[in-house]
Structure 1
Amino acid sequence: MSLKIDRYCNLRHFNLMKINTSHITIITTTTTLIRMAVAG
């Protein structure tokens, strides 16, 4: 039972990490594009 809960928590944690990583990537890309537009 506890093993199943552990696995579920690990999966949720992994999914949250994945979402955070893609979110950071989107923010970084947007910021870079804005900087290029301002500089250009």
Structure 2
Amino acid sequence: VGAEQNTTTIIMMPSEFVTMAEGLAKAFRAQPEKSAE
């Protein structure tokens, strides 16, 4: 059920998902030390 809801969200707002994913990727790459947290 969770996977289905996630897919629906991505289809409904792909732009928002892409932006969030890019922001998270940049944050993790910029601060790998905080990854533990």
Q: TM-score range by the shorter chain?
A: 0.5 to 0.7
Q: Bigger relative contact order, structure 1 or 2, given CA contacts below 8 A and separation 6+?
A: 2
- Kindly, what percent of the aligned residue pairs are identical? 0
Kindly report which structure 2 residues correspond to 1:19-38, keeping only aligned pairs within 5 A, or say none. 19-35=16-32, 38=33
Q: Compute the TM-score of the two structures, normalised by the length of structure 1.
A: 0.49
Task: Select the structure of larger CA radius of gyration.
Answer: 1
RMSD in angstroms over aligned alpha carbons? 1.9
Separation of aligned partners in 2, 1:33 and 1:21: 18
Uncovered stretches (5+) of structure 1, i.e. residues with no partner: 1-11
Q: Compute the TM-score of the two structures, normalised by the length of structure 2.
A: 0.52
- How many equivalent pairs are there? 23
Q: Which has the higher helix share?
A: 1
